[in-house]
Amino acid sequence: MRILVLGGDGYLGWPTALHLSRRGHDVGVVDSFARRQYDFEMGVDSLVPIRSLQRRVRTWREVSGLTIDAFVGDMTDPVFVIETLRRFEPEAVVHFAEQRSAPYSMIDRQHAVYTQVNNVVGTLNLLYAIAELDPSIHLVKLGTMGEYGTPNIDIEEGFIEITHQGRTDVLPYPKQPGSFYHLSKVHDSHNIMFACRIWGVRATDLNQGIVYGQETEETLQHPDLATRFDYDGVFGTVLNRFCVQAVIGHPLTVYGSGQQIRGMLDIRDTLACVELAVTNPATKGEYRVFNQFTESFSVGQLAEMVVDAYPGPATIDHVAPPRVEKQEHYYRAAHTKLLDLGLVPHLLEASTIRSMLAVVDRHRERVDLDAIAPTVDWRRTQSTLPTAGAPVDA
């Protein structure tokens, strides 16, 4: 198939593009390099050095003999979006091209507005381009399990049967997102479902859990093909942070009680899930939702697993939670649809954590301890807008 990967320079987009290319698909990648700019803004960097997209694509061609087409531009530019689709003529579009950090979206008003404009407008431009050029293009959109929140009932895969005053219907599952980032994903889901209904677009919404791991079969073929490893307080994920803290001898910082439960999956399973969605497409006008995770753990359990896997001494500290969220909650989410399509999960084991610890150890000199602490408080509202009557700097 011809598959266009949006956000193809990112943590998941790049290894997804490599995986699909190696599996025999004609792959193109699109990126604006905004993710790299966030690092400059935050004063942080990936623990594992990453090369430019141009060098990555060139190295992949040298290593594999396969070509990946690269398109540089912004998804909020409707002309760029429609012209890129027109040039590449994809049969499927895999959409990773969004600001993906909850803390980043909660820094202040500007970051909240940027996140929602970037994410929602980019997806709207894509929907219009698909509808105008070729509604048969299958959109595979990366959402998040964070759209659901932590309801006191079982979480279904996208839809729930409701009986109210004697009448029954199947409706979108109620959403309780926990940040302006997660809200942007909810808006995306509604817009995509609407486009499927009115334009006959076909789409798969992958509500993904927290991804861990940095190495795939393809990225291990050459150092130039490595993907990101984020551990900082804004973009770093929980297991990455714990592994870095263990290696450098810092206590593992668990936010609050540590009883918060999250769905998790191995990076290799992300690649498999995307391929399963692409090769088993939705039908015309169909909007479907797959919950894309393989296991659930509490934050405290993850910390204990890292302590157990690390060969040296490691301790756990509980710190004040920067987020506004339930410290203890019910969590049971369905995730059978991808298993039914043939997903064979890589479950989180001590060997997996040890491989992540080994990655950290190889690059331990690049760790910035000051970058790990949480700096974004959900309770704080902040804006750099001038106050009324104050002079504005030229």
Chain-centroid distance, C-alpha 191:
19
Average pLDDT, the chain: 96
Note the pLDDT of residue 384.
Answer: 59
pLDDT in tens, 134-153: 999 999 999 999 999 999 99
Tokens encoding 162: 């409701």
* pLDDT at position 381: 87
List domains and CATH numbers for the chain. Answer: 2-371 (3.40.50.720)
The rounded distance, in Å, linking the Cα atoms of 30 and 28 is 7
The pLDDT of residue 394 is above 90: no
- Encode pLDDT of 156-184 as tens digits: 999 999 999 999 999 999 999 999 999 99
Q: Residue 79 to residues 3, 33, 74, 250: CA-CA distances in angstroms?
A: 20, 18, 10, 48
- Structure pTM? 0.96
Judge contact between 124 and 188, C-beta under 8 A. Answer: no
Among the listed residues 84, 123, 144, 294, the single catalytic one is: 144
CA proximity to 298, closest of 318, 269, 313, 312: 318
Instruction: From the candidates 11, 104, 185, 227, give the one annotated as an active-site residue.
Output: 185
185 is catalytic: yes
Distance CA 296, CA 306 (A): 16
* Residue 282: per-residue pLDDT: 98
Q: Which of 181, 212, 310, 331 is catalytic?
A: 181
Per-residue confidence (pLDDT) for residue 386, from 0 to 100: 52
